[in-house]
Amino acid sequence: MRLCATISLLTVVLVSLGSLAAPRSDFLFLDEVRVGMTGIGNTVVSGDAISEFAVDVVGIIDEPGTLSDFIVVRVSGEAIGRSGGIAQGMSGSPIYVGGKLIGALSRAASWSKELTPIGLVTPIEPMLDVLGWAQTASARPDDGAVLSGVALVDRPFAPSAAEVAAAPNTIFAYPVSTPLIATGLSGRSRAILMDGANAVARPAETLGSFLPRGSLGEGLSGLSALSLDLLPLSGGASASSGSASAATLVPGGSLGIALVSGDVAVGALGTVTYVEQGAVIGFGHPFISNGASDFPLTTVSILETMKAYDASFKLGTLGEMIGVINQDRTAAIGGRVGDRAATIDLRLDIEDLDRGTSRTVRADVVREPRLVPNLLLTAGFEAIDTTLDRVGPGTVEVTYQITGSGMPFSLERKDVFLSTTDVAVYPPWQLADIVAYLEYNEFADPKITSVSASMRITSEIRAIRIENLVLDSFVYSPGDTVKFTLVMQTYQGEQIVRSGQLTIPDTLLADEIVVRAYGGPRMLEGGESPQVFEGLADVIDLIETFESYETVTVELFANDWYASAGGDSLYGVAKASHEYPGYVVYDEWEVRAPLLTGSGG
């Protein structure tokens, strides 16, 4: 967007009369707006009743194209005073002049020349385009309405009084934020929702460290990265529609977008701008700029509009799902009533073995790859923390099951993790890693329909440490059998001794062999190539077959005979594994031995 809004000869494309079911007389387009026009805006301040506020047209910001054009208005009246100005959640409030819809209030603004609250209105033309109407006719704003020589600075937050005073020819605009409301979340789960990995870092032991090319869940961002703000107060129980229903979906009324609904609920609320034949547009700005979308459209009950020093906000609850938001564009969000969004059925079962208590968390999660991993992470932490009612050490056994209409078969995996500080970290991050890897696989959309995780948690440290590995000889030849003795010990407990053997291939060419004992999965060695996937089935199979930490493996490695000198060229040759259910095997032990070949190596 240019900083200086000057008179432009570019046209503003209007929606043709023939493409509108409503007559053209229902709208006042940008070329018809004049300075000094007065009108009203509609919004909900409390309950479900629509309140009016007064509007005076100050001028037009006219920039190239249509998506950066705005109508500058003064706002006043009891609804504005009661709200403490233009509040979060008012975005989308329809603005009428002479009974005709000119657009939606979408941004608050500060200008040294205007002492009363001012805001920016997104013109109706690009908003109607979100509903898919064709654009055929063109026009330009009236020259007398354009604010020539006035700079527009669009920023994510309100300016200071000093900034406004120092720039008399500048309008500072900032979005009337789409407030996020969350219920069923407490403590750190709220921080994880907004900050993702910045709130709780992903542990190195999860599959994201071992899957080929790494996991796209690594560095998982929270919702704050999408310029969303979480309200400091919860609106109350989720899915509590109160008196709200599909019938309340009217211009000036409230609408919601559900990201999670159920025992845990996360969503956003805003205002309806226009409704026609089951189609709806609102906000006057994007939600997360998702483009074509599939978000549940819900009713909303506003409890009250809360005044706040930094930004007033609407406090409300999301109600029933009544449709789908299928467009998330620059000028507006749009959707249809009666359609249903595709969601993921989430079930988390947590059992506290120490106290003999359990809890099941059920929720529907929006099926959007950018959001799902973090939403699962948030729900997982909330479920574990509230069930255990503590943050601390322990061991957790977890079984995952993921199904999808685009998956050739269901994914099932069992894991065991332990921590001396925070056992809750592992199951949610493992789940987020797996789902992120599936969502961004290169072969097919998994179209995940259900995700479940069953967790059994104890404060006991159930661990087995590898203490020694002894081979039966100091030197070997191709074809020999390597007999080994593995010495381990349970945490503060008994010693475990296991014996086994590995066979060296007759054709192996190497200077030495390496025998290593380790717990859980391992990274690829320098002489190994990543697995080549031929389809989604291979991806699922790899996730299922990676060793869990209850597995101890003794593996024989050799150096690639043809590798360049000095390079790390180990590759696996043979291995033997054993499981200790419910225990985590950790540490490793490695023994090297010369390999005598016919060439005298």
Task: Give 392-456 as a DSSP string.
Answer: --EEEEEEEEEEETTSSS-EEEEEEEEESS-GGGHHHHHHHHHHHHHHT-SS----EEEEEEEEE
Q: 237: buried, middle or exposed (CB in 10 Å: 19+, 13-18, 0-12)?
A: exposed
Rounded distance between C-alpha atoms, residue 194 and residue 189, angstroms: 9
Q: 450: buried, middle or exposed (CB in 10 Å: 19+, 13-18, 0-12)?
A: middle
What is the per-residue pLDDT for 360? 97
What is the mean pLDDT of the segment spanning 544-568? Answer: 83
Res 240 pLDDT > 60: no
What is the per-residue pLDDT for 181? 87
Tokens at 536, concatenated: 């989604």
pLDDT band at 18 (very low <50, low <70, confident <90, very high): very low
Work out the percent of the chain whose per-residue pLDDT is above 90: 52
For the chain, what is the largest distance between any 2 Cα atoms, rounded to a whole number of angstroms? 98
Q: Mention every residue, 6+ apart, whose C-beta is less than 8 A from residue 302.
A: 44, 45, 46, 47, 48, 89, 254, 269, 314, 315, 316
Give Cα separations from 313 to 160, 439, 584 (angstroms).
19, 34, 48
What is the per-residue pLDDT for 215? 47
Q: Looking at residue 43, which CATH number applies to its domain?
A: 2.40.10.10
β-pair type (394-404, 463-471): unpaired
3-class secondary structure per residue, 548-576: CCCEEEEEEEEECCCCCCCCCCEEEEEEE
**What value does the mean pLDDT of the chain take?**
84
Which among 47-56, 125-134, 264-273, 537-546 has the top mean pLDDT? 537-546
Please identify, among 175, 205, 224, the residue that sits at the C-terminal boundary of a domain.
175
- Angle ∠(494,497,503) on CA atoms, nearest 5: 160
Residue of 402, 401, 400 lying closest to 448 (CA atoms): 402
What is the per-residue pLDDT for 418? 96
Query: Each residue of 123-182: pLDDT tens digit?
Result: 998 888 887 532 233 344 555 566 666 666 665 556 666 666 666 666 655 555 577 888
Is-contact 178 269, C-beta < 8 A?
yes
Assigned domain for 134 exists: yes
What is the per-residue pLDDT for 55? 93
What is the per-residue pLDDT for 491? 93
Which tops the pLDDT comparison, 211 or 498?
498
Please identify, among 112, 144, 175, the residue that sits at the C-terminal boundary of a domain.
175
Please identify, among 175, 200, 223, the residue that sits at the C-terminal boundary of a domain.
175
Work out the percent of the chain whose per-residue pLDDT is above 70: 79
Assigned domain for 421 exists: no
Is-contact 469 487, C-beta < 8 A?
yes
pLDDT band at 319 (very low <50, low <70, confident <90, very high): confident
What is the per-residue pLDDT for 48? 76
pLDDT band at 1 (very low <50, low <70, confident <90, very high): very low
Res 243 pLDDT > 80: no
β-pair type (150-154, 170-175): parallel
DSSP 493: S
CA 411 to chain centre: 22
3-state secondary structure of 323: strand
Assigned domain for 491 exists: yes
What is the per-residue pLDDT for 308? 55
Is-contact 186 391, C-beta < 8 A?
no
Tokens at 123, concatenated: 């013109």
Q: Mention every residue, 6+ apart, whose C-beta is less than 8 A from residue 482.
A: 471, 472, 473, 476, 501, 502, 503, 504, 513, 515, 556
What is the mean pLDDT of the segment spanning 561-573? Answer: 71
Give Cα separations from 309 to 46, 83, 107, 288, 482 (angstroms).
19, 12, 17, 25, 73
3-state secondary structure of 62: coil
Which tops the pLDDT comparison, 481 or 254?
481
Q: Mention every residue, 6+ apart, whose C-beta is less than 8 A from residue 459.
A: 354, 392, 393, 394, 423
Tokens 């008994």 appear where?
494
How many structural domains does the chain have? 2
What is the mean pLDDT of the segment spanning 452-461? Answer: 98
Rounded distance between C-alpha atoms, residue 275 and residue 297, angstroms: 13
Res 486 pLDDT > 50: yes
What is the mean pLDDT of the segment spanning 469-480? Answer: 96
Assigned domain for 146 exists: yes
Query: Each residue of 62-110: pLDDT tens digit?
Result: 776 677 788 999 899 888 888 878 877 888 899 999 999 999 988 877 7
Res 253 pLDDT > 70: yes
What is the per-residue pLDDT for 115? 66
Show the domain range for 575: 463-594
Which tops the pLDDT comparison, 117 or 574?
574
Residue 278 main-chain phi, psi, to 5 deg: 85, -5
Helix (H) or strand (E) holding 59: strand 50-61
Tokens 């696989």 appear where?
441
Res 330 pLDDT > 60: yes
Assigned domain for 310 exists: no
What is the per-residue pLDDT for 230? 83
Assigned domain for 378 exists: no
pTM above 0.85, yes or no: no
Query: Each residue of 42-58: pLDDT tens digit?
Result: 998 887 788 899 999 98
Assigned domain for 582 exists: yes
What is the mean pLDDT of the segment spanning 520-526? Answer: 92
Assigned domain for 399 exists: no
